[in-house]
Every structure is written in C-alpha cells, then in structure tokens.
Amino acid sequence: MSLVAKIFGKGKGEKGPTPQDAIQKLRETEDMLIKKQEFLEKKIDHELATAKKYGTKNKRGELRPERRCW
C-alpha cells in the first residue's frame, strides 16, 4: 500500500464503482459536455455575427468585446 493510500485511508478492501455506476457517470458526463458544446457554439455564432456587423470598416468595434453579465 502506498503512503498516500495509507494517509487517506483507502484500504485494499475498497473496490471501484460497479459497471452500471461507471456507465451512468459517463452518460452524465456526456450530457454535460454536449450542453457545454452547444453553449460555446452559440457564443461563437454570436461573436461571428458581431464581427460581421462591424465589418472591415470599424476595426475597434469588431475587436471590442461586448460587456456582458454571465
């Protein structure tokens, strides 16, 4: 047993999660990542629209981040 395991009390008798628990955890992680991806894609679309709105004439407006409360 390693020193870290001794300090934090993980013994040899403790086992990892069951296959069902591991699958459930992976599904929850997948759902969370899908939500993050959708959020970031919306943010990219918004930023692209802002850049196109200001076009090449107004470089400062194009590069200026909008003030948002997240």
Q: Domain residue spans in the chain?
A: 37-64
- pLDDT at site 51: 82
Please choose, from the candidates 62, 34, 36, 68, the residue with its C-alpha nearest in 3D space to the C-alpha of residue 47.
Answer: 62
Residue 1 has pLDDT above 70, yes or no: no
Q: Decide: 64 and 51 in contact? Cβ < 8 Å.
A: no
- pLDDT at site 46: 94
Instruction: Please tell me whether the overall predicted TM-score, pTM, comes out greater than 0.75 for this model.
Output: no
The continuous run of DSSP H or E covering 55 comes out as: none
- pLDDT at site 7: 76
Which alpha helices (H) appear in 1-70, and where do they start and end?
3-8, 19-54, 59-63
Dump pLDDT digits (tens) for 16-62: 889 999 999 999 999 999 999 999 999 999 999 888 887 766 666 65
